[in-house]
């Protein structure tokens, strides 16, 4: 019953997002194009690098494109479904109007994510999916088990991004106006779109165990390439820890807002 209600709320929020996006049609189209160009540029650069005879050692151009397309799709889904909570929380805390969310009988975190559903990232997802299909058509056909591994790792990659978005949003309750933090994370996240074997061991430790951004693009793609092994499952632990930490801290900070707001 509760789940059904939450699905209905989410459906309404998505409808509202469509309605709001359609209000400013030109802005919507431009946003889609800009997001597409901005994030699709990386795979194009990869093609240029390989076209000039250079490349990432041990990786074919289509393998690298596969990683980058998975990364792009993951980013697009994050932008569409939960990334908005970061800016929404910052805005509400800064303007002191989180009360308007707190007076509603739903989970604050869920409602902010649902309300900030962004249709603009559709273009990015389509772009990522196109590259994904192209890259996939140039590698050996993955088995059913590989697809299963890919789906699990892809979802875990999303949970890493959700955890980090929640952690950043949570800091804005205490550190009002921390708009540079997301920029720092964006830079760290970029490591996830390259084959991890090109990085030194120290960087690898960070991108797999400390801030597991490698799970966003690299690990799910390697599963499709048949390079996944059981050790990969160990990396699930920090990813899940990130998500739990993000949810717990966000909930705690909402309670703290209720405690200190004036």
Shortest Cβ 10–other proteins spacing (Å): 9
Does the footprint of other proteins cover residue 176 (CB under 8 A)? no
Does the footprint of other proteins cover residue 136 (CB under 8 A)? no
Q: Which stretch binds other proteins (CB under 8 A): 16-24, 134-142, 164-172, 205-213?
A: 16-24
Contacts of 236 by beta carbon, 8 Å cutoff, 6+ apart:
156
Q: Which stretch binds other proteins (CB under 8 A): 9-17, 83-91, 158-166, 205-213?
A: 9-17
Q: Are 9 and 104 contacting, i.e. CB atoms less than 8 angstroms apart?
A: no
Q: Which stretch binds other proteins (CB under 8 A): 103-111, 189-197, 205-213, 241-249?
A: 103-111
Does the footprint of other proteins cover residue 90 (CB under 8 A)? no
In this structure, the dihedral spanned by the alpha carbons of residues 95, 100, 103 and 104, taken in order and rounded to 10 degrees, is -130
Q: Which of 49, 102, 152, 209 binds other proteins (CB under 8 A)?
A: 102
Q: What is the C-alpha to C-alpha distance for residues 46 and 48, in angstroms, rounded to an integer?
A: 5
For the record, the structure tokens of 94 come out as 């800064």
For the record, the structure tokens of 53 come out as 């005879």
Does the footprint of other proteins cover residue 109 (CB under 8 A)? no
Does the footprint of other proteins cover residue 91 (CB under 8 A)? no
Does the footprint of other proteins cover residue 105 (CB under 8 A)? yes
Q: Which of 44, 70, 99, 179 binds other proteins (CB under 8 A)?
A: 99
Shortest Cβ 34–other proteins spacing (Å): 19
Which residue, 4 or 201, has its beta carbon nearer to other proteins? Answer: 4
Could you list the residues that contact other proteins (CB under 8 A)?
Answer: 5, 8-9, 11-13, 15-16, 19-20, 23-24, 97-100, 102-107, 111, 255, 258-262
């Amino acid at each position: 019953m509760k789940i059904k209600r939450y699905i209905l709320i989410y459906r309404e929020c998505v409808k509202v997002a469509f309605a709001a996006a359609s209000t400013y049609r030109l802005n919507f189209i431009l946003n889609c194009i800009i997001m597409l160009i901005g994030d699709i540029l990386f795979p194009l650069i990869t093609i240029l690098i390989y076209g000039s005879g250079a490349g990432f050692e041990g990786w074919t151009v289509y393998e690298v494109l596969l990683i980058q397309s998975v990364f792009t799709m993951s980013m697009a889904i994050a932008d569409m479904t939960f990334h908005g909570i970061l800016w929404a929380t910052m805005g509400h805390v800064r303007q002191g109007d989180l009360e308007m969310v707190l007076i509603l009988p739903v989970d604050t975190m869920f409602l902010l994510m649902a309300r900030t559903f962004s249709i603009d990232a559709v273009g990015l997802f389509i772009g990522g999916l196109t590259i994904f299909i192209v890259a996939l058509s140039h590698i050996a056909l993955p088995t059913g088990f590989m697809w299963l591994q890919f789906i699990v790792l892809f979802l875990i990659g999303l949970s890493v991004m959700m955890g980090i978005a929640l952690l950043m949003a949570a800091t804005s309750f205490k550190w009002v106006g921390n708009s540079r933090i997301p920029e720092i994370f964006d830079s760290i996240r970029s490591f996830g779109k390259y084959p991890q074997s090109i990085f030194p061991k120290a960087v690898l430790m960070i991108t797999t165990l400390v801030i597991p951004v490698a799970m966003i693009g690299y690990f799910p793609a390697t599963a499709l390439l048949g390079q996944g092994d059981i050790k990969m499952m160990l990396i699930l632990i920090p990813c899940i820890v990130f998500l739990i930490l993000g949810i717990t801290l966000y909930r705690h900070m909402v309670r703290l807002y209720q405690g200190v707001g004036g």
